[in-house]
């Protein structure tokens, strides 16, 4: 299967291309650089793999939650490519991509993925590892760090920019329940690709972002 994956929900911009059994990646921490980087990267990856647009089977894209502006850029690029080349799109949770990126070797049974939502809040996704990989324990949400609660279980691998932004507050809320910490983990297109290979696809015109809250914030 040939899949193009795009992840732009955070300041970390990344693109991955699966061409058969080979995966190529471009990634950079580039706040406000997503619009400049995406299309050149995609062109480079296709050229390196010797693929044309018609050779792609689907596009996987991080659908959020995340920063309003950067998220919309990634979704717009994915939608434009899909519409122009009649490709289906597999929307993938950016929190799920973060959880997988933080624990690629499956070392932890429970993963708490936290993305900095700005405005004094974090996006939260709680996952449990099972036979089919990481599955969500509860619906994605946005909360203030001081009100963070996680489902019963654990201990937890806690990962993401939300932990990096509010380490002391989050640690105090999870006292005794933390197995490991990976504050520098980001949602990555490589993991969006993995999840997107199995995800349900939608027509390009049905693609919608998931903001979790009504009030949005800019990267």
In the chain, which segments carry CATH 3.30.420.40? 2-93+187-206, 96-182
pTM of the model as a whole? 0.95
User: Quick one: pLDDT at residue 216?
Assistant: 42
Element (H or E) spanning 67, and its range? Answer: none
Rounded Cα distance between 18 and 214, Å, is 34
CATH among 2.40.50.100, 3.90.1150.10, 3.40.50.970, 3.30.420.40 for 2-93+187-206: 3.30.420.40
Quote the pLDDT of residue 218: 36
CATH topology of domain 96-182: Nucleotidyltransferase; domain 5 (3.30.420)
List the chain pLDDT tens, one digit each, 219 residues: 999 999 999 999 999 999 999 999 999 999 999 999 999 999 999 999 999 999 999 999 999 999 999 999 999 999 999 999 999 999 999 999 999 999 999 999 999 999 999 999 999 999 999 998 999 999 999 999 999 988 878 899 999 999 999 999 999 999 889 999 999 999 999 999 999 999 999 999 999 999 997 644 433
| CA nearest neighbour of 42 among 62, 56, 31 | 56
Instruction: Count CA atoms closer than 13 A to 118's CA, side-chain side.
Output: 14
């Amino acid at each position: 299967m040939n899949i193009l994956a795009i992840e732009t929900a955070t300041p970390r911009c990344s693109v991955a291309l699966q061409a058969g059994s080979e995966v190529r990646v471009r990634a950079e921490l580039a706040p406000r650089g997503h619009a400049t980087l995406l299309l050149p990267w995609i062109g480079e990856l296709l050229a390196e793999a010797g693929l044309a647009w018609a050779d792609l089977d689907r596009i996987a894209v991080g659908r959020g939650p995340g920063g309003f502006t950067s998220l919309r850029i990634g979704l717009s690029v994915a939608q434009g490519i899909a519409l122009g080349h009649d490709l289906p799109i597999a929307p993938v949770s950016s929190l799920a991509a973060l959880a997988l990126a933080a624990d690629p070797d499956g070392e932890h049974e429970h993963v708490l993925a936290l993305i900095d939502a700005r405005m004094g809040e974090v996006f939260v996704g709680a996952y449990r590892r099972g036979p089919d990989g990481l599955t969500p324990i509860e619906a994605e949400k946005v909360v203030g760090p001081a009100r963070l609660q996680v489902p019963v279980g654990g201990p937890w691998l806690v990962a993401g920019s939300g932990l990096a932004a509010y380490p002391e507050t989050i640690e105090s809320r999870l006292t005794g329940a933390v197995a490991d910490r990976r504050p520098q983990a980001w949602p990555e297109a490589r993991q969006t690709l993995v999840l997107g290979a199995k995800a349900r696809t939608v027509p390009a015109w049905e693609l919608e972002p998931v903001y979790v809250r009504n009030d949005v914030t800019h990267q």
